[in-house]
Structure 1
Amino acid sequence: MTRTQFVLATLAAIVLAGIADATPAAARDYPWCAQGGEYDYPGECAYSTYEQCQASVSGRLLYCDRNPRVAYGQVQQPQPHRRTRPVAPY
C-alpha cells in the first residue's frame, strides 16, 4: 500500500467514525417546529426561536408551531454516563 492510499484510507476511516457517532438532527427537540406539507407531526423541530422557524418556512407553504414534546414536558432527559471501568481503590 502506498503512502497516499494509506492516508486516504485513514481519512475515510475518520470520516466514517464521525458519521457513525453523530446524533441525528431529528433526535434534537427545539421549542419550534415547521409543520405542514412534507412533514409528519410534530414536524421539523429544529428551531430555537419563532423567528428562525418563520425564516425557514417562508415560501415553503409551511407554518410554525410549538413543539408539543417541549410544550407539554415530554422531552426525555439525557441519561448520565456510566463508568465503563472500575475505579481503583485508594
Structure 2
Amino acid sequence: ATPSFVAWQVRDQVDARANALVSTLAYARSEALRRGARVTVCRTDASRHCLAAGQPCGNGVADWSCGWAVLAERGGTSTLLRAHASVAA
C-alpha cells in the first residue's frame, strides 16, 4: 500500500502546483485587462527577482519549482502584484 500512497501523494502535489500556476496566469490576464498595462509572469529566485530562461535558481534547478511572480509594468516601473513561493524539496 505504501508505494501507491507515495505515487498518489506525488500526483497530488503536481496537480496542486499546476492548478496554482493556471490560477496565476488567469490572475495575470485579469490584472492586465483591469489595469490596461503589461503584466508579466516570471520564474523567480529567493529574492523574487525574475530569472532568465534556463537560468537556475538557488537550488540549481531551472524549472518553475523555483517559484514565480506576477509583475505589472507602467511607466518603466515594475510593481510586484503576487508571488508564489518555491516548493521545498
* TM-score, normalised via structure 1 length: 0.32
Higher RCO (CA-CA < 8 Å; seq separation 6+):
1
Between structure 1 and structure 2, the one with the greater Rg is 1
Name the one with the larger strand percent. 2
**Structure 2 length-normalised TM:** 0.32
